[in-house]
């Protein structure tokens, strides 16, 4: 049993209570008794509303299910469908013309365009790497990836042939981003060659010269003592790009946090990175290395004045959504605290040290706290988040709207009512974005009873997807987000396919989005080149004048009307879904890893988090419900793919095989539940089953007899 302390009627895990009382509250001058009393009152007021909102989700889903079941096989008439959705309150009236009123926003969010990283909070090393990804070596990014159409490096030392290709690519980039008054960067013999636009030159750094293009900095490193710089006629040893302007430190889809122990580790890492003293020591190449946060970059301006540019990415923290509870704190009636409420209070209390200027480096220079809030369904839930953040500010003694919110447009009811969602948080919103996987998972579940869906790969080309992506940007611009907030796009999931990323991901800034997600610091540096090529803010005027796609397009359900798939096609689809499902679940359940590079069915490594799981499990559940496949076919696919996933993980000494252990492998049983119980999962979410099975796994690892059937 968890050791707990009584705090104003709340039963708090002892280690968590001590962490809060010893490390979080004293620096911000909050008395523990006052804090816990206020926290208890906040939970008492808001937890019932949280539960009521979840009940509303279930009610709406039941009504939508019944509507589809009352008209089996009939095409969906958009007029009838939308009238029904308005009648039940799924669609709400548009709020009319308004502009957001958010103030106190850092330029990385409001007025700059560049890449955004998402990093699991539980991995301190990855967290530090992401925070330090504000600046990245373009030479290293070219040299170590497939971004160049050139021969790979040979041997362990420096390959001058590969290096020459890297340098040529770097010079070509400079010719585009920093054109010279005459000639090419490939011909210069000095790094201070005159520019076509002298205003692009900013000043000198400790390592070279600093320039700016489309609002992003470029550092040309001059060092003839290095192998690269010594062989370069201009002495240029590297090109360093301002890369990940912002990073989302994630407590949600990329982590497996199911109890007080996990949550405490998450909060401790958030405190460390905010406070500035987080470090991680690890072994690499036979050496012991310690990672810590990078310092700022000092620039000497032409006037002789010095300024410091941030050396670290500006940090958001992504809290969990409204759905889950957590046993870290029990309420007076013995129930678990809504996890999103706990996250809001504790991550904000930690961030208050930054607001009060008590940290080593500082995060927000505007004194703001940035929280991304995922998986909200419609404006009612956004309004609840606004009230929650009001209450947290009052509890912590923070000015109103110190806490800013990022609204993830990843649920169907939010997409359909996006303007009203923005209106509900209009004085604190700093971010909207799109996310294909979760949005598709909700698309499938919402219309689960309407009929079988088209194949998963075909959904990306659906009419509603194109409308969804365009609406997000257009509605954001229509309500004043440009120059105040980020409009973002989703993840590039293949970290080893940088050549393809360079070719395709330029499409994101071309939509008018001023940020998009990348899976690694290296990817951030390469993606940063796109923002030098595309003037995002210059495009927005034209985009804003375009027509906003209507609900007739957005609400088209991707049904497989009259599809007649062969047995081979059905098996192929099931295998693809089952392999992705098992490859992710086995690490989540058995090792507590919520995000990693998981080989797909073709052995291509993809960065996957819980959103991947939602779409795969819901797609299989949908086909099973409508008789496209049988339970026997699904189980055969799961077992076939378990053997494949076992083989893909054969080199992992911590891996526990699933094949043949059908009854004893918690991971395999969890995967089966996600499919066979998928229709009944709230909004198709995977968290309830994942948490239950992970808790059982942790209990088994600890030798606990608490292994009751889920």
Contact, 352 vs 318, CB < 8 A? no
Report whether 434 contacts 469 (CB < 8 A).
yes
Instruction: Work out the angle at residue 680's Cα, subtended by the Cα atoms of residues 678 and 685, and round it to the nearest 5 degrees.
Output: 60
> What is the phi/psi pair of residue 699, to 5°?
-65, -40
Classify each residue of 277-295 as buried b or exposed e, where b means 16 or more C-beta atoms within 10 Å of its C-beta. Answer: ebebeeeeeeeeeebebbe
Whether residue 433 contacts residue 472, with contact meaning beta carbons closer than 8 Å, is answered with yes
Nearest to 435 by CA among 514, 519, 492: 492
The beta-strand segments (E) located in 506-604 are 515-518, 596-599
Q: What is the DSSP string of 423-468?
A: HHTTTTEEEEEE-HHHHHHHHHHHTGGG-PBPPHHHHTT-HHHHHH
Q: What is the rounded end-to-end Cα distance, in angstroms, of the chain?
A: 18
Question: How far is it, in rounded angstroms, from Cα 254 to Cα 250?
Answer: 6
Per-residue burial over 545-569, b = 16 or more CB atoms within 10 Å of its CB, e = otherwise: eeeebebebbbbbbbbeeeebeeee
Distance (Å, whole) CA 202 – CA 212? 7
* 571-576-582-584 Cα dihedral, nearest 10 degrees: -170
Say how far apart CA 386 and CA 614 lie, in whole Å: 27
Query: Which residues are 222's β-sheet partners?
Result: 236
CA distance linking residue 524 with residue 244, whole number of Å: 6
Contacts with 56 (C-beta within 8 Å, 6 or more apart), sequence order: 380
Dihedral sign computed on CA atoms, order 94, 99, 104, 107:
positive
| Alpha helices by DSSP H, 276-410 | 339-355, 378-396
Contact status, residue 61 vs residue 88, Cβ threshold 8 Å: no
The DSSP secondary-structure symbol of 422 reads H
**Closest alpha carbon to 472 in 416, 399, 391:** 416
DSSP string, 7-69: ETTEEEEHHHHHHIIIIITGGGT--HHHHHHHHHHHHHHHHHHHHHHHHHHHHHHHHHHHHHH
Catalytic residues: 318, 609
Q: Which candidate, 87, 499, 127, places its Cα nearest to that of 279?
A: 127
Number of other residues whose CB lies within 10 A of the CB of residue 76 = 18
CA distance 425 to 406: 9
Q: Is 408 helix (H, G, I), strand (E, B) or coil?
A: strand
Q: Cβ neighbours of residue 593 under 8 Å, at least 6 residues apart?
A: 256, 587
């Amino acid at each position: 049993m968890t050791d707990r302390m009584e705090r104003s009627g709340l039963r708090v895990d002892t280690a968590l209570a001590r962490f809060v009382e010893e490390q979080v509250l004293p620096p911000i001058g909050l008395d523990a008794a006052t804090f816990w009393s206020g926290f208890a009152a906040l939970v008492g007021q808001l937890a019932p509303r949280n539960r009521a909102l979840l009940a509303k989700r279930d009610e709406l889903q039941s009504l939508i299910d019944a509507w589809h079941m009352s008209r089996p096989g009939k095409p969906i008439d958009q007029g009838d469908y939308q009238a029904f959705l308005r009648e039940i309150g799924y669609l709400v009236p548009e709020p009319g013309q308004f502009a957001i009123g958010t103030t106190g926003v850092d330029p990385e969010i409001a007025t700059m365009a560049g890449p955004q990283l998402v990093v699991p909070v539980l991995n301190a090393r990855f967290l530090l790497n992401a925070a330090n990804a504000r600046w990245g070596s373009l030479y290293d990014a070219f040299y170590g990836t497939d971004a160049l159409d050139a021969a790979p490096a040979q041997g362990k030392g420096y390959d001058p042939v590969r290096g020459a290709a890297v340098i040529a690519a770097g010079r070509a980039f400079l010719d585009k981003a920093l054109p010279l008054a005459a000639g090419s960067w490939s011909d210069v013999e000095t790094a201070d060659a005159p520019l076509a636009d002298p205003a692009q030159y900013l000043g000198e750094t400790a390592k070279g010269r600093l320039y700016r293009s489309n609002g992003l900095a470029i550092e040309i490193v001059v060092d003839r003592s290095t192998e690269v710089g010594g062989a370069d006629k201009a002495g240029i040893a590297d090109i360093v790009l301002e890369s990940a302007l912002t990073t989302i430190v994630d407590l949600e889809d990329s982590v497996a946090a199911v109890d007080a122990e996990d949550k405490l580790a998450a909060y401790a890492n958030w405190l460390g990175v905010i406070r500035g003293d987080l470090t991680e020591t690890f072994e690499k190449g036979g050496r012991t290395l310690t990672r810590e946060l990078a310092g700022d970059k000092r620039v000497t301006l032409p006037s002789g004045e010095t300024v410091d540019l941030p050396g670290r990415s500006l940090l958001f923290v992504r809290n969990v959504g409204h759905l889950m509870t957590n046993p870290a704190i029990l309420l007076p009636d013995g129930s678990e605290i809504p996890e999103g409420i706990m996250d809001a209070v504790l991550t904000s209390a930690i961030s208050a040290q930054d607001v009060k200027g008590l940290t080593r480096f500082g995060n927000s220079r505007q004194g703001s706290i940035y929280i991304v809030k995922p998986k909200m369904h419609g404006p009612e839930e956004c309004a609840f988040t606004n009230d929650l953040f009001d209450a947290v500010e009052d509890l912590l003694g923070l000015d109103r709207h110190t806490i800013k919110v990022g609204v993830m447009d990843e649920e169907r009811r939010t997409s359909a009512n996006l303007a009203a969602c923005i209106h509900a948080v209009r004085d604190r919103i700093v971010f909207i974005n799109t996310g294909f996987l979760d949005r598709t998972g909700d698309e499938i579940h919402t219309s689960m009873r309407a009929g079988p869906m088209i194949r998963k790969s075909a959904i990306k080309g659906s009419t509603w997807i194109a409308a969804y992506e365009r609406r997000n940007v257009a509605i954001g611009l229509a309500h004043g987000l440009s120059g105040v907030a980020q409009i973002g796009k989703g993840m590039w999931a293949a970290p080893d396919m940088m050549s393809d990323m360079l070719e395709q991901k330029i499409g994101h800034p071309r939509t008018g989005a001023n940020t998009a997600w990348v899976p690694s610091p290296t990817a951030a540096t390469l993606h940063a080149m796109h923002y030098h090529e595309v003037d995002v803010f210059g495009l927005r005027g034209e985009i804003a004048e375009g027509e906003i796609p209507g609900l007739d397009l957005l609400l088209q359900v991707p049904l497989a009307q009259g599809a007649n798939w062969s047995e081979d096609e059905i098996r192929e689809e099931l295998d693809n879904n089952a392999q992705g499902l098992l490859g992710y679940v086995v690490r989540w359940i058995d090792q507590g890893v919520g995000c990693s590079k998981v080989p797909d069915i073709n052995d291509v490594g993809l960065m996957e988090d819980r959103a991947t799981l939602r779409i795969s499990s819901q797609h299989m559940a949908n086909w099973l419900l409508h008789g496209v496949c049988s339970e026997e076919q699904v189980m055969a696919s799961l077992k076939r793919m378990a053997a494949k996933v076992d083989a893909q993980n054969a080199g992992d000494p911590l891996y526990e095989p699933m094949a043949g252990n059908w009854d004893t492998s918690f991971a395999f049983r969890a995967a089966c539940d996600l499919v066979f119980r998928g229709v009944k999962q709230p909004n198709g979410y995977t968290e309830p089953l994942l948490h239950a099975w992970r808790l059982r796994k942790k209990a088994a690892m600890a030798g606990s007899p608490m292994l009751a059937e889920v």
